[in-house]
Amino acid sequence: MSRFRLFLVLFLTQICLWASPLHAQRNALVFQTDFGVKDGAVAAMKGVAFGVSDQIPLFDLTHEIPPYDIWQAAYRLQQTIAYWPAGTVFVSVVDPGVGSDRKSVVAKTKSGHFIVSPDNGTLTLIAHSIGIDSLRQIDERLNRLPGSSESYTFHGRDVYAYTGARLAAGVIEFYQIGPVLPPRVVELPYQPAAREGQTIQGNIPVLDIQYGNIWTNIPQSMLKDAGIRYGDRIRIRVLNQGKIVYSGEMIYGTSFSSVPKGKPVAYLNSLLNLAFGINMGNFSEKHKVAA
């Protein structure tokens, strides 16, 4: 009998140990900012997260968003988020209105991801593509780095990184973020793609920056509906404020190798949207085409 009792005590102790917060699941925490990495801002945010829990997996989406460019922040989230598992927490800080009356929020997407961000347009494309399941305003009385109440210009560190880390670490649950808001977010105006016959019109939301390729918001489905197939030649015109800045024909190929080096090619980018560039060249620089 005494041996049985000893085994039972040890077994229950083991169950309690593995059910304790020390073994709670940590979700990944992914940072995006326009801070760059020339100073200590990003490191400070990660330090705050590490102080919440040294078990949180920390990753970077990018810190090279052009300063104040909320649109690019919105696009890079849309480009990336679907490839992370549900439960991942994104902290996106492109916040030219820091310290103003813009809301600080956490959005739970319909895919089960969380985005901690100012409600300033950063959530525009996520709202349209994935959808927002629910939205909460951050209650800074509960979710703010202790001792930071006199700081008004670094909410990325004091509010967003701290709240995101607490959510990723399981210290708080989504309902503890703050009051519920209607699942409607501030949206930036943009031109969706449209087709009329064999003419498709869209815009250039971003560049494939490293290589100077031109990314559009024209989806593969519109190309198929217009009867465009690989190997066809298509005419592309790019206008800036009504002025044509580029006009030319190119092959619609599967990859850059569909054309000789130095020749233009249209293709589907990694998001299955129409893009075009130059094999082993920089289309943006050569033709002065930008997002």
Per-residue confidence of the chain (291 residues) as pLDDT tens digits? 445 454 434 343 444 444 444 445 689 999 999 999 999 999 999 999 999 999 999 999 999 999 999 999 999 999 999 999 999 999 999 999 998 999 999 999 999 999 999 999 999 999 999 999 999 999 999 999 999 999 999 999 999 999 999 999 999 999 999 999 999 999 999 999 999 988 999 999 999 999 999 999 999 999 999 999 999 999 999 999 999 999 999 999 999 999 999 999 999 999 999 999 999 999 999 999 999
What is the pairing mode between strands 104-109 and 132-137? antiparallel
Let me know: does 258 contact 251? Beta carbons within 8 Å.
yes
Tell me how crowded residue 146 is: count the other CB atoms within 10 A of its CB.
7
**AA letter at 272:** L
Rounded-to-integer distance, Cα 39 and Cα 35, Å:
8
pLDDT at 162: 98
Burial of residue 260 (CB within 10 Å: 0-12, 13-18, 19+) is: exposed
Helix, strand, coil in percent for the chain, rounding step 5? 30, 25, 45
Q: What is the DSSP secondary structure assignment for residue 25, as one 8-state letter?
A: P
The answer to whether the pTM exceeds 0.95 is no
Instruction: State the Cα angle at 203 between 253 and 285, rounded to 5°.
Output: 70
Q: What would the two tokens of residue 250 be? A: 């190119």
Let me know: does 155 contact 148? Beta carbons within 8 Å.
no
Rounded-to-integer distance, Cα 38 and Cα 258, Å:
39
pLDDT at 23: 46
Residue from 111, 113, 124 nearest 91 by CA: 113
